[in-house]
Chain A
Amino acid sequence: MTWVALTLLAFALGVLAQARARHPLANPTLVATVLLVAALLLSRTPYGRYAAEVRPISFLLGPAVVALAVPLYRLRALLAREWRALVVGGVTGTLVGVGVDTLLPRLLGLSAEVQRSLVTAPVTSPVALQLAGVTGAPPALAATLAVLSGLLGALFLPSVLTRLGVRHPLARGVAVGSVSHGIGTARAREEGEETGAASSIGMGLAALVVTLAVALLK
């Protein structure tokens, strides 16, 4: 039970850090992960024991992934009006992202474990975690790479899109959401409501697209 408490408190600390620092790197998941890894190393607790103890937290992932349908449903009017930009743009972006994350590791000759984990990097971590069962990736590596991919997206994509001349809020939002999921969406929301909404749609569609892509590639 101690590790459940420490996990909740570490995450709360991460949320406080985010509220103070207002920087993508002050991400609650990242802060909590760093703190807990340090605590496990210092107390010489094996990861297996930790994971078994905090299973009640992981259980909620299933219903949380199901809950992704709610923002998609709420934004159905926007989705119906701008489906060409949002669906065609978002799905293409996600597929290109997955394609690069699949082919580049092969060309570089990375290990099979890493190859399988990188495939799901553009998708939200809980889905990457659940997809690990299908791809045969080590769940921890797939989930962590997805978090890091989201962080990189939040850090770099807004300025890259500006440099490419992508100015429309819907286009910027769906581009960020289609490859850098929840963490990117939080960053997109800072640009405005329309950008955030488009990013949520991009993220929801990416969950479906990557799931289908993984099933077909298998």
Chain B
Amino acid sequence: MNGPAPASVTGRLPAPVRFVLGLGILTGFAALGTALVTVLRLPFPGSVVGMGLLWAALSLGVVRLHWIEGAADGLLATLGLLFVPATVGVIEYLSAGAAWALWLLVMLAGLLLGAGVAGLLAARLVRE
């Protein structure tokens, strides 16, 4: 049902055109999620709701994987670029100075406890 389908019309599209199609679909789901969140006044970011909707659409076969694969892989491969404009905003928190060390320690505690619990629990629950 999914995967590359060279026989289909969309499967024969040149890669850049399929990228445009994919980006259009992904942006459409982001817009749909944002609209739902606004109308229903949900306390969620629209794009996360869009992610859930796309997952459902893929599972139901409404959206085919090969329509969006190229665009999704492209965006995810350069995901680190997309929030650089936000992380540069750290410039406004440079004055916090030594407090940063404390913030890093808090995060380290969260990481060690969270990953420790997840790892030990998952190791017990693995079936194979």
Q: State the A residues within 8 Å of B (CB).
A: 7-8, 10-11, 14, 27-29, 32-33, 36-37, 40-41, 47, 50-51, 54-55, 57-58, 60-74, 76, 81-82, 84-86, 88-90, 92-101, 104-105, 108, 110, 114, 118, 121-122, 124-127, 129-131, 133-134, 138-141, 143-145, 147-149, 152-153, 156-157, 160-161, 164-168, 170-172, 174-176, 178-180, 182, 198, 202, 207-208, 211, 214-215, 218
Contacts and interface: CB of A to CB of B under 8 A. Distances in A.
Given A7-B85, A96-B113, A172-B119, 19 more contacts: A7-B84, A29-B84, A33-B88, A57-B81, A65-B47, A69-B52, A85-B121, A89-B121, A100-B114, A104-B110, A110-B99, A121-B110, A127-B48, A130-B46, A133-B45, A140-B92, A152-B111, A166-B119, A175-B119
Contacts of A28: 80-81
Given A36-B88, A171-B123, A175-B115, A131 B45 contact: yes
A51 B83 CA distance: 11
A77 B46 CA distance: 27
B82 A57 contact: yes
Contacts of B81: 7-8, 11, 28-29, 32, 57
A180 B106 CA distance: 14
Q: Among the interface residues B73, B88, B94, B121, which one has the most CB atoms of the partner chain A within 10 A?
A: B88
A143 B86 CA distance: 6
Contact of A29 (B48, B83, B116): B83
Nearest to B115: A175
A188 to B, nearest CB: 11
| Interface core residue of B43, B48, B88, B118 (most chain A CB under 10 Å) | B118
Interface string B97-128: 00100111011111111111111111101111
Given A29-B87, A61-B82, A122 B51 contact: no
Nearest to B92: A47
Consensus secondary structure, chain A interface: helix
